[in-house]
Amino acid sequence: MTTIEGVLFDFSGTLLRIESAESWLRAALSASGTDMDEAEIARRAAELERAGALPGGSSPVEIPAGLAGLWEIRDRDARHHRAVYTGLARQVPLPRPELYDALYDRHMTADAWHPYPDAAGVLAELHRRGTRIGVLSNIGWDLRPVLRAHGLDRYVDCCVLSYEQGIQKPDPRLFAVACRELGLDPSAVLMVGDDRTADGGATALGCAFMWVDHLPVDRRPDGLRPVLDLVG
């Protein structure tokens, strides 16, 4: 069996989790100085969640026909990403039109993301062992400032982001880029992620794969710990 010398981590649902839809909406309302009563906030937040408008949150219950094509390629380009998520949000009536962009802008802030309880500890231990560490994400914006704000960037050797490459998981070419960035053969790399299809696509290239459950941070205190048993 090949020794694992590098680990690629997915971002959303693996290392960090996005805030709740209600917290997200409240933050955007506050930033724009918009008042909304409590019952309305809860109702609109639930509608936004069903619409799949929060990146990193639930997938849409139903994708509008006009956005279906864009949805499939949303992580290949920053403009596509913003367009599809603001488009999904616009299915939900909100009191001010600028709120749709405010919501999108909010989800890119460090305050909108919460690291899983064991993320820093696992990354620190891998780093101590000399393991190469990368973040490989299907995403439409630069997550590096979020990692930096939460003190995780110090352990990460590379970030490979779909929108910067114009390729999205499970395309083997994206995993190949990440392995090259780590300076390792795919057989020596473990991919860790919460999506068996997207992240599990690493196995086509010869990487190992470990699945983690995309749970709220308070319900997954040690989901990343098994990585330490898999890495030499």
The pLDDT tens digits of the residues spanning 58-108 come to 999 999 999 999 999 999 999 999 999 999 999 999 999 999 999 999 999
Task: Please say which residue of 112, 132, 149 terminates a domain.
Answer: 112
Residue 146 lies in a domain: yes
Whether residue 48 is found in the same domain as residue 93: yes
Whether residue 133 is found in the same domain as residue 209: yes
Structural domain boundaries, residue 69? 19-112
Whether residue 135 is found in the same domain as residue 215: yes
Residue 132 lies in a domain: yes
Task: Please say which residue of 50, 84, 112 terminates a domain.
Answer: 112
Question: What ranges in the chain are assigned the alpha helix state H?
Answer: 21-32, 38-51, 65-72, 78-89, 99-107, 119-129, 144-149, 162-165, 172-182, 226-230
Whether residue 13 is found in the same domain as residue 39: no
Query: How confident is the model over 98-148, as pLDDT tens digits?
Result: 999 999 999 999 999 999 999 999 999 999 999 999 999 999 999 999 999
CA distance linking residue 143 with residue 154, whole number of Å:
14
Query: Both tokens of residue 10?
Result: 């997915």
Q: What percent of the chain has pLDDT over 70?
A: 100
Residue 1 lies in a domain: no
Task: Please say which residue of 112, 144, 177 terminates a domain.
Answer: 112
User: What's the angle, vertex CA 181, arms to CA 176 and CA 187, rounded to 5?
Assistant: 50
Query: How confident is the model over 140-191, as pLDDT tens digits?
Result: 999 999 999 999 999 999 999 999 999 999 999 999 999 999 999 999 999 9
Residue 137 lies in a domain: yes
Per DSSP, what are the bridge partners of residue 8? Answer: 134, 191
Whether residue 11 is found in the same domain as residue 79: no
Whether residue 11 is found in the same domain as residue 122: yes
Whether residue 30 is found in the same domain as residue 107: yes
Instruction: Say how many domains are in the chain.
Output: 2
Res 206 pLDDT > 90: yes
Whether residue 131 is found in the same domain as residue 107: no
Whether residue 125 is found in the same domain as residue 10: yes
Q: What is the pLDDT of residue 232?
A: 72
pTM above 0.85, yes or no: yes
Res. 45 pLDDT band, cuts 50 70 90: very high
Query: Both tokens of residue 223?
Result: 């989901």
The type of residue at 192 is V
Whether residue 117 is found in the same domain as residue 195: yes
Per DSSP, what are the bridge partners of residue 137? Answer: 161
Whether residue 223 is found in the same domain as residue 176: yes
